[in-house]
Amino acid sequence: MDVTTPASDPWLIVGLGNPGPEYAANRHNVGFMVADLLAQRIGGRFKRAGKAQAQVVEGRIGPPGPANRRVVLAKPMSFMNLSGGPVNALKDFYKVPVANIVAIHDELDIDYGILRLKLGGGDNGHNGLKSMTKAFGAEYHRVRFGIGRPPGRMQVADFVLKDFSSSERKELDYFVDRAADAVESLVTEGLERAQSTYNS
């Protein structure tokens, strides 16, 4: 299902993760990785966002013309399980409809590197999504980046807060690039078109 909002409405694209260098390469921080790449693509650098506990980049995505969209890229600096507060503050400040919010996050129930785009739904135990849904409801878009399940008896919390393995890192740049493409497609072409291309 596509939710159509006026083309003049901005989009808020949120990469989920934890702040600090010790978390930077964790599986849980893949949302930050995709947001960083999107910022590079639009030629912006993340800066502290006023009173909101987040870093933002403002810019535009898409070709010149009707598909060109104003976007705010954001990385909450609150730690994952408190993401809802900063995202809600940015939503209100930039006057973004909930349907124009995109959360980019790691997903345990999808194999590594596989993408799934969707609108609304549950949080599947993901604390960043849980916090966002509590703050403003569930009807926002998600770009779910598969990280697979932990091996053996490893706890989920330990798994997501570990860096990608050496074998995973060989393909990580490609998968992050593809996720950034998926976000751009979602914003400029709509959910159904983006799903048909990237939900493979």
For the annotated catalytic residues, the residue numbers are 28
Specify the residue for token string 């598909």. 67
- Inter-residue contact 123 to 97 (CB < 8 Å): no
DSSP annotation of 152: T
**What are all long-range contacts of 61-65, with beta carbons under 8 Å and residues at least 24 apart?**
61/11, 61/184, 61/187, 61/188, 62/184, 62/187, 62/188, 63/188
- β-bridge mates for residue 145, sequence order: 106, 115
Secondary structure of residue 115 in the 3-state scheme: strand
In the chain, the DSSP E strands lie at 11-15, 47-48, 54-61, 69-76, 101-107, 115-119, 141-146
How many other C-beta atoms lie within 10 A of the C-beta of residue 56? 24
- Inter-residue contact 56 to 76 (CB < 8 Å): no
Say how far residue 149 (Cα) sits from the centre of its chain: 20
